[in-house]
Structure 1
């Protein structure tokens, strides 16, 4: 057979590569972003109970209504705004599926999509497989801020979408209200759709407020929000998330969603709807993860790595420039093979592989794991 791949240059994800390397060398895996502790037993029992109670057939295409109603109430509680549960919220097979479906629903050949590098690795392939053109703008290091003047000049009549991510993976930074106002101004009087990847919305530190696009009236009218229950409730393998958008945008989303997914795991939706009835299950998350961050950083404060505490997500970027001049990919490999600790090099998130001598470590781990990891890092 002869065929031409629509993504001929895509290689195996760096997350898969580093996790495989960690497994091969029995290294502590702080590379891929998943917790190594279990989620709430009540939630696990809720899924089991739903299965035993017969919730094993197709859920509604848009998701169980009680779950969508719970999501709507969460937005009202946290952001003083909401989305209509029947027409503006859809349950998805994780946030990545939501992102891919949004892009597939709106991006046509030669449409331009602005993204910010370093960027989570699912954005660009989704754009390109749909025939779109990625316009990548580098965040300004070391603070990883958006250069808004550059964004203004990058917008053209072909610009169909801008993708933002806050809190930001991989850098751990968060967008401010000022950032959102500038995005609102740039997109005013245009047909540009904003895709706001907010999967770490509940993991934000030092009493900062998450600046969701839904807080800004004019942004909300043109935006999708994608979110992840897996990130929120420590069960990434369940692959359940959701997206929100105004009705007219959501209708276009569902036109695609119904044919590539149709519906999402029913018993998990039933359990999540019940779990969200207690707001403490998500309101207490910042404190929980800040304790993890602070524990990790306190344990490595005397190491040779330099760092600025992460503002959000469960990732911490460490600067190794005073330790080695080695390329970050090679240095990450060396740490995994020779020292027994796995991380993620940030250069792989750039088209031109910018190497700022930094690695990303996941601190969503037990305190015992963080202690073991710190003992290795302190010896480097």
Structure 2
């Protein structure tokens, strides 16, 4: 018998509370199980199927061999905190003190949890874009906050500046931005980010940014960290990780940066979540952050090639495609092909084409879920052979017709 408790808020916040009041499984788990049972290619979950740079992998192996296998310091190893500080200066001109303004976490998800639990109290509003990564709603609810959203719509997925400005009020405690954006692959431009900073100043809100796809940019797109904008640093916590950039999602090495007092508040919570994690992986991610520019360009270029391969297959199948400017994912609209329900399309695709995706409605609530009902997200962070085969399979939909 499931008893009421904070878990219920978390499940409801993530859209996982069933009508019977029990926590359901995520759409990602459902689609991955479907892929496994049918032998379909799993383009649902966003994890790579190839390893990252050898320099990073060897650094982890060397650290293990050297005995770096016990608890690291609570704020993270010195070598990684210093590497994060160099990274922020190198790419964005941000001068960060590795002693007081950097905190290493168990991936970006723990960083988000620590920050929201540190600053959001009962009834505080947290504003996100929608669709949104499902962990946002879960942690906001766990903290007792109220989740407010601003929609981003097909196909550009850019929020309306006026609507965004109006959504930030005196009740807003945290503005949680994700750029580059999951699941849409949109990159928020500087003009839009300045709207956020101005509104945050006006209403005394914190800005928290999820920037895990910061280096995975395509077609000349540029990532602008909010913290680098005038007036933003004092109220901004920036979050990122090494998992997406270096194809090491299982290592769960993330970090946050910001003013010392904000970082210390997050640490006060984080130390009672995982305490510490990933001792031998921290120097390895530090090695990755110090790799030359051409390595980062190659990582993004390889992903862009994968994106283009998958987009070609989806377009050959007849899907309208929103071509992403960053990240791991591409979104299509099934409605013009006679697939008005993305969830049903995803459940049918293993039979129709031997491929699995996830419905974008899983990242939305209520009205926005209805508006996104026909959209499906596919991951292209896969090997060239897998993407080529998936594209070939998807293209056969044009010959099969569009009846589910």
2:380 to 341, 363, 366: 363
Deviates most, 188-197 or 283-292? 283-292
Residue 230, structure 1, aligned to residue 259, structure 2: no
**Contact in 2 for aligned 1:345/1:358 (Cα 8 Å):** yes
Post-superposition CA distance 1:181-204 (Å, at most 9, x none): 111111124321111110100011
Residue 94 (structure 2) pairs with residue 81 (structure 1): yes
Q: Which moved more, 1:322-331 or 1:113-122?
A: 322-331
Say which SS state the counterpart of residue 6 (structure 2) adopts: coil
**Does the alignment pair 1:296 with 2:313?**
no
Cα deviation per residue 1:145-165 (whole Å; 9 max; x = unaligned)?
112322333333221001111
Compute the displacement of 1:32 (Å).
0.1
Mapped partners of 1:150, 1:70: distance in 2:
38
Deviates more, 1:135-144 or 1:363-372: 135-144
Is the Cα contact below 8 Å between 1:171 and 1:317 reproduced in 2? yes
Residue deviations 1:81-115, cap 9 Å, x none? 23111111111100011101110000110111111
- The Cα of 1:212 is off from its aligned counterpart by 1.1
Cα offset for 1:238? Answer: 1.0
User: Aligned-pair distance for 1:228?
Assistant: 1.6
Shift in Å, 1:370: 0.7
Matched residue, 2:64:
51
Matched, 1:378 2:378: no
Q: Tell me which residue corresponds to 1:312.
A: 326
Runs of 4+ in 1 over 4 A off after TM superposition: none
Cα distance between partner residues in 1 of 2:84 and 2:168: 33
Q: CA 1:26–1:191 in 2, change beyond 3 Å: closer, same or farther?
A: same
Q: Deviations over 1:318-376 (max 9, x none)?
A: 12222123411111110024432100101121111223422111111111101110111
TM-score by length of 1: 0.95
CA RMSD of aligned residues (A): 1.7
Aligned pairs for 1:1-380 within 5 A: 3-8=3-8, 9=12, 10=16, 11-280=24-293, 281-352=295-366, 353-354=369-370, 355-380=372-397
**Any gaps of 5 or more consecutive residues in structure 2?**
17-23, 398-404
User: Any conservation in 1 of the 2:170–2:204 contact (CA below 8 Å)?
Assistant: no
Contact 2:334 2:341 in 1 (8 A): no
Report the CA distance between 1:219 and its aligned residue: 1.7
The 1-side partners of 2:349 and 2:181 are apart by 24
Q: Contact 2:342–2:361 (CA<8 Å) still a contact in 1? A: yes
The TM-score, its normalising length taken from structure 2, stands at 0.90
Aligned pairs, number: 380
**Conserved 8 A contact 1:31-1:343:** yes
- Retained in 1: the 8 A contact 2:83–2:289? yes
With 145-154 and 264-273 compared, the bigger mean Cα shift is at: 145-154
Aligned equivalents of 1:100, 1:132: Cα separation in 2: 12
The structural deviation recorded for 1:283 is 4.2
Cα distance in 1, alignment partners of residues 311 and 168 from structure 2: 39
- Give the stretch that moved more between structures: 152-161 or 233-242: 152-161
The whole-number CA distance in structure 2 between the counterparts of 1:37 and 1:74 is 24
CA contact 2:106–2:274 (8 Å) conserved in 1: yes
